[in-house]
Each structure stands twice: as C-alpha cells, then as structure tokens.
Amino acid sequence: MNTNKTVLSIIDKLKPAKKALELSIVNDIDNEYNWLEQSYSEARYGVEFMQEWEQKIYDFSNELSIAVDNYVVNGAAYSFQEAAENMQEKINELEIKADELGIDPYDLIANYDDIILILKNADEVDTEFRAAYKEVLKASNNVALADFS
C-alpha cells in the first residue's frame, strides 16, 4: 500500500507539470503565428513577384538585344576599322601625289587634320569599341541570381 501512495503522490506532483507543458506549447504556437502568417503571405505573393521580375528581365533582354544589334548591325561603328583602312590608303596616295606636285595635303582637303587624328587613333578606338561590345555580350549572358532553392 505504501507503494500505491508513493505512485499517487508522484502522479499528483506531475499534474501541474503536465499543465505547464500544455501551456508552453500554446505559448509557442501563439508566439510563432506572426512569423507563420508573414511567411505564408510572402510565399503566396512570391509567385506574382517572381513573374513580374521574369517579365522585366525578358523585356530588358529584348530591348537590349534590339538596341545593341541595331547599333552593331545597322550602325557604322562595327565597320570603322574597314573605313579607317580605306581612308589610310587614300591619304597615303594623296600624300605621295601631293609631295610629287609640291603641294601641301592640308591645302587640298578641308578636314585633313581631323582625318589624320582619326587615323592616328583608329586602332585604339576600334579595339576599345570591340572590347566594350564583347563586355556587353558577356554581361548579358551573366545576369545571375543566387540559387536558394
């Protein structure tokens, strides 16, 4: 009988602890509800948010492609090296003929100074332009986001 009293005594002592344990879980749930509700709300909106950014990326990519392609394909910059080489041949010929005639090329061509300056810088300008074009191509392929999935 003494054993039963001990067991009953232990059970009586555990009842308040059980109630405290039960109340602890209620408090935990109450405390975590705000985080659960916020994360749920953001996850639901996340689909729309990601779709908006996907569309913005698509639109920008399309705009970038059109602008750069038009500049390179329809513009004169990509043909600059060829234009400079052609002009250099003509300037060389002019200088030889002008020298033979004893005439200063500056007196024959109104923009001679500008032409000489452009030709002097031609290789550097063309190299920088082509490098910048390659950087745009590289950057457009490297638009990256961290993958947290």
At residue 102, the pLDDT reads 94
Query: Residue 149 pLDDT more than 60?
Result: no
Ramachandran category for residue 52: left, alpha or beta (phi over 0 → left; psi -120 to 50 → alpha):
alpha
Digit-coded pLDDT (tens) for 73-116: 888 988 999 999 999 999 999 999 999 999 999 999 999 999 99
pLDDT tens per residue, range 44-76: 999 999 999 999 988 988 888 888 888 888 889
Enumerate the H helices of the chain as residue ranges.
Answer: 2-69, 80-101, 105-108, 112-141
Q: pLDDT tens digit string along 121-145?
A: 999 999 999 999 888 888 887 666 6
Give the integer Cα–Cα distance in Å for 38 and 43.
9
Q: How far apart are the first and last CA of the chain?
A: 62
Predicted TM-score of the model (pTM) = 0.63
Cβ(119)–Cβ(80) under 8 Å? no
- Go through the chain and tell me how many residues it has: 149
> Which residue, among 51, 47, 72, 38, has the nearest Cα to 140 in the 3D structure?
72
